[in-house]
Amino acid sequence: MKTFIYNLFIQKDGIPDSIDKLIEYLDLIIGYEYNGDAYTEKHHILPRVSYNEHINKDWNIVKLKYEDHIKAHELLFEAYNFRKYGRTLNFMKSNVAKNGELLSIASKKGWESLKNNKEVYEQWKKAHSEYMKGLSPEEQGRRAKKGWDKLTDEQYQERCNINKEIWTDELKEWKSNQMKQYLEENPEESSRRAFLKYKNMPPEKFNEFKSKMNDVNKDPIKREKAGLSMKKQWSDPDFIEKMKNRKKKPGDAYELISPVGERLNREGLHKIVNEFNFNISLIRKYTNSNQPVSLPPNKKIINEKTANTIG
């Protein structure tokens, strides 16, 4: 029986990574008998994942004590370092007891096998891309953080060095052009991403970012560079035409309170500027700030949830 099963393994799974471990596996389970009171589990000698045709054969099923069941799957995984043979073991063992090196080798083998089948690999990439796009930014961030948190300092540095080697100038240019094309085809995406970024930014991070932007704005050289960039952009006929044809968004709603308590509703900063001769920078600065502002006549900012309020 041992020779028979050994030959079935060789015919379907090929030469094992460790012949000694395969023989040790067969020695453990062929003829295994236990009639005690300890907890036992059914085990398929030829794994169900690969040998479904033998799933109900009596000679292929043996009852093993739990610790022997784990040992059997360990030996099988060491004999054939395939991810499919490691999955059952992953469920049975804790994270501490899992063999990370064997799991890594099996993972690499699985990727090589997938990539060698170009048709299946392209289908997988497309399906995985659609799945990842469907995840919320919070979930994507959580997954990324979980992966990076697991790395040791040495692994982190190694990953950074690998990324630096991969991130060539050609790849940077390709990625930049890809993003430009995507944002041109999806103009609302840029605003959505910016909104989510600032919405989910912790207060200390937002204040740090705000401080950096203030420093940039105070730098004459950087301001001049930004101004030249904007002038160049607005001298491009294609860009001007694009801006003319863009969808106009409704302006922010403002509620103005006069010195005598009269409430006036207006939409958009420019309407307020033109009608009341207010300074636009002061409107932005003092809106919902609960701070008094000197505008003739003297006015006070009042905070409202439903609208930006200028008193």
pLDDT digits (tens, 9 = 90+) for 268-287: 766 777 777 776 666 766 66
Cα(101)–Cα(97) distance, integer angstroms:
12
Q: What is the pLDDT of residue 34?
A: 86
Q: What are phi and psi of 5, to 5 degrees?
A: -70, -40
What is the mean predicted confidence (pLDDT) over 284-297?
55
Which is nearest to 9 in space by CA: 71, 66, 19, 173?
19
Q: Is pLDDT above 50 for 301?
A: no
Q: Is pLDDT above 50 for 297?
A: no
What is the mean predicted confidence (pLDDT) over 296-301?
41
Q: Is 92 exposed, middle or buried (0-12, 13-18, 19+ CB in 10 A)?
A: middle
Tokens 């308590």 -> residue: 261
Cα(286)–Cα(300) distance, integer angstroms:
9
| The two three-digit tokens of residue 259, written as one number | 């010195």
Q: What is the pLDDT of residue 305?
A: 34
Q: What is the pLDDT of residue 1?
A: 86
Cα(102)–Cα(89) distance, integer angstroms:
11
Q: What is the pLDDT of residue 18?
A: 92
Question: Predicted confidence band at 61 (pLDDT cuts at 50, 70, 90)?
Answer: very high
Cα(234)–Cα(161) distance, integer angstroms:
40
Q: What is the pLDDT of residue 160?
A: 83
In the chain, where are the structural domains located? 2-114, 120-181, 203-245, 253-310
DSSP 136: -
What is the mean predicted confidence (pLDDT) over 70-96?
82
Question: Predicted confidence band at 121 (pLDDT cuts at 50, 70, 90)?
Answer: confident
Return the amino acid letter for 291.
Q
Q: In what order do the strands lie in the sheet with 253-257?
A: 263-267, 253-257, 308-310
In contact, 303 and 249? CB cutoff 8 Å: no
Q: Is pLDDT above 90 for 163?
A: no
3-state secondary structure 196-213: HHHHCCCHHHHHHHHHHH
What is the mean predicted confidence (pLDDT) over 80-108?
71
Q: Is pLDDT above 60 for 291?
A: no
The CA-atom distances, in angstroms, between 156 and each of 48, 69, 107, 153, 180 are: 38, 36, 19, 5, 30
Q: Is pLDDT above 50 for 295?
A: no
Per-chain mean pLDDT for the chain: 78
**pLDDT tens digits, one per residue of 32-49:** 988 888 888 889 999 988
- N-term to C-term CA, the chain: 92
Return the amino acid letter for 217.
N
